[in-house]
């Protein structure tokens, strides 16, 4: 580029989460002039308020829960207790150890100029941040998404938690009403219930986790209600919220019947919306409230401006945002452009048991009119479930009529690890028979994968 110094930077990245960070550091390492702009906390959602802190807390909760119920193995655990401030201190240490959470210096040490402020496009090549004008040859918009407040009467008159703010709670509330039975709502429901909170969780759909296979929502509902003492309210719409002494009174409609539920605190986890308020019109970038539109190379309607991560509106995983960010760095600076390949990308849920899903769900197959065969192997048929005394879970595999694996769900301890064998099978096009023929070690949870595959072979 002959005119490369007419701009302040080769690349300006807006947003320092997973969708932005990777591209910024890759470009800087390649000797490009890069700036990153963060309106909120450096590092974005994943290390500061979602993946890292929730998994650190869920890890502790899992140990505590297992120890509490370990008398059946001959362990004396009646005097077990916990200190929540110490648990929070552990969560904060886990966040700090990522190295990128709330750490502007991480970028500066990687030769990236870091700005804390809100970016706003003035022209397709120029933005303003903190009243400073900055220009760049290329932009990456990775502003992520934010929790939305649902349309519930009185919700803005009461204090409520979001999945971000509840992590800072001084102690678990005595009772908690959760609006939204998706992955965040379910993880926090389990976390709080283990630490002694009376949990109510309301979901409009007919089951918890409506984007997963039916068996998943049903099993997690059973675990939450029967083992953790939570009250699961499916088919439920929250109509209004009001103060009630020190607590809150929530009016819900369930199957046409209205009733009140009282709780000390409310958590709203009913969906996220992309952050698209940054003057995109001035940059001629097409977008809707549901996200920025891109082509398969992640270019927006203005070819030198790219977008990645949650701002695309796909509710994507952190690992997909990282993949997109790396792809953008490649596409900006290399001659041949590539499209991200999401085949075999797992989604995870860190409940107990863990939930992992890859490829197509049964609903996906139904929508596409695909003829499929499916097989479910309950965990209790493998030896490991006996020695660990753990039976809640299964492996489900979906294959086409030729036996090619299209999708899979694992609900089991360590499902997040087990799923990768199935992800690889989908990525390289293995059949259920090939998977069933692969030796699986005795007394591993993964034996359930072999059993499910052999039913389809």
Structural domains for the chain? 4-44+101-146+273-333 (3.50.50.60), 51-91 (no CATH), 155-270 (3.50.50.60), 347-456 (3.30.390.30)
The pLDDT, as a whole number, for residue 121 is: 98
- DSSP E strands, 269-367: 272-274, 287-288, 291-292, 305-307, 347-349, 354-359
Count Cα neighbours of 418 within 13 Å in the Cβ-side half-sphere.
29
The pLDDT, as a whole number, for residue 5 is: 61
Rounded Cα distance, 405 and 119, in Å: 44
CA 211 centroid distance within chain? 13
Rounded Cα distance, 204 and 271, in Å: 12
The encoded tokens of residue 216 equal: 């998943």
Give the model's confidence band at 255: pLDDT under 50 very low, under 70 low, under 90 confident, else very high: confident
pLDDT at 242 over 80: yes
Give the model's confidence band at 179: pLDDT under 50 very low, under 70 low, under 90 confident, else very high: very high
Report which of 400, 361, 406, 388 is spatially closest to residue 447, judged by C-alpha positions. 388
Rounded Cα distance, 145 and 163, in Å: 13
Q: Answer for the pair 404, 398: CB distance below 8 angstroms, yes or no.
A: no
139-176 pLDDT per residue, tens? 999 999 999 999 999 999 999 999 999 999 999 999 99
pTM (predicted TM-score)? 0.94
The encoded tokens of residue 79 equal: 């005097």
Q: Mean pLDDT for the chain?
A: 96
Q: Percent of the chain scored above 70 by pLDDT?
A: 99
- Cis geometry, peptide bond prior to residue 297 (ω within 30 degrees of 0): no
Structure letter (DSSP) for residue 431: B
State the DSSP string of 224-262: IIIIS--EEE-SEEEEEEEEETTEEEEEEEETTEEEEEE
Residue 366, Cβ neighbours under 10 Å: how many? 11
Give the model's confidence band at 363: pLDDT under 50 very low, under 70 low, under 90 confident, else very high: very high
9-53 pLDDT per residue, tens? 999 999 999 999 999 999 999 999 999 999 999 999 999 999 999
First vs last C-alpha separation in the chain: 56
Rounded Cα distance, 213 and 46, in Å: 25
pLDDT at 1 over 50: no
pLDDT at 2 over 70: no
The pLDDT, as a whole number, for residue 297 is: 98
Give the model's confidence band at 62: pLDDT under 50 very low, under 70 low, under 90 confident, else very high: very high
Q: Answer for the pair 36, 17: CB distance below 8 angstroms, yes or no.
A: no
């Amino acid at each position: 580029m002959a005119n490369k110094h007419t701009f302040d930077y080769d690349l300006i990245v807006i947003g320092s989460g997973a969708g932005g960070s990777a591209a910024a550091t890759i470009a800087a390492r390649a000797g490009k002039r890069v700036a990153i702009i963060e309106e909120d906390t450096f590092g974005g959602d994943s290390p500061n308020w979602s993946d890292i802190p929730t998994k650190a807390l869920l890890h502790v909760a899992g140990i505590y829960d297992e120890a509490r119920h370990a008398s059946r193995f001959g362990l004396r655990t009646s005097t077990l207790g916990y200190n929540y401030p110490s648990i929070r201190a552990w969560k904060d240490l886990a966040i700090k150890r990522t190295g990128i959470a709330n750490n502007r210096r991480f970028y500066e040490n990687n030769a990236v100029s870091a700005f804390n402020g809100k970016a706003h496009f003035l022209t397709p090549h120029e933005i303003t941040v903190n009243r400073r004008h900055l220009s760049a040859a290329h932009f990456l918009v990775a502003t992520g998404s934010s929790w939305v407040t649902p349309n519930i009467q009185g919700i803005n008159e009461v204090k409520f938690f979001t999945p971000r703010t509840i992590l800072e709670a001084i102690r678990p509330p005595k009772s908690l009403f959760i609006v939204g039975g998706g992955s965040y709502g379910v993880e926090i429901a389990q976390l709080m219930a283990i630490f002694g909170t009376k949990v109510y969780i309301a979901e409009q759909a007919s089951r918890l986790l409506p984007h997963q296979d039916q068996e998943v929502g049903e099993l997690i509902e059973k675990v939450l209600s029967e083992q953790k003492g939570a009250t699961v309210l499916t088919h439920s719409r929250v109509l209004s919220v009001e103060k009630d002494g020190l607590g809150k009174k929530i009016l819900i409609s369930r199957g046409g019947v209205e009733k009140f539920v009282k709780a000390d605190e409310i958590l709203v986890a009913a969906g996220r919306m992309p952050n698209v308020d940054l003057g995109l019109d001035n940059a001629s970038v097409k977008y809707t409230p549901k996200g920025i539109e891109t082509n398969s190379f992640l270019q927006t309607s203005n070819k030198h401006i790219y977008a990645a991560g949650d701002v695309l509106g796909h509710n994507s995983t952190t690992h997909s945002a990282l993949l997109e960010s790396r792809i953008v760095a490649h596409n900006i600076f290399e001659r041949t452009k590539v499209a991200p390949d999401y085949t075999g990308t797992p989604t995870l849920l860190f409940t107990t048991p863990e939930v992992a899903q890859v490829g197509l769900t049964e609903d996906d197959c139904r929508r596409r009119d695909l003829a499929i065969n499916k097989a479910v192997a309950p965990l209790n048929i493998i030896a490991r479930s006996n020695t660990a005394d753990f039976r809640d879970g299964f492996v489900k595999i979906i294959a086409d009529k030729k036996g090619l694996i299209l999708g899979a769900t694992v609900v089991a301890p360590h499902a997040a690890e087990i799923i990768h064998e199935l992800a690889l099978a989908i990525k390289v096009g293995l059949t259920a028979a090939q998977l069933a023929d692969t030796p699986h070690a005795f007394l591993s949870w993964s034996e359930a994968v072999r059993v499910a595959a052999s039913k389809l072979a």
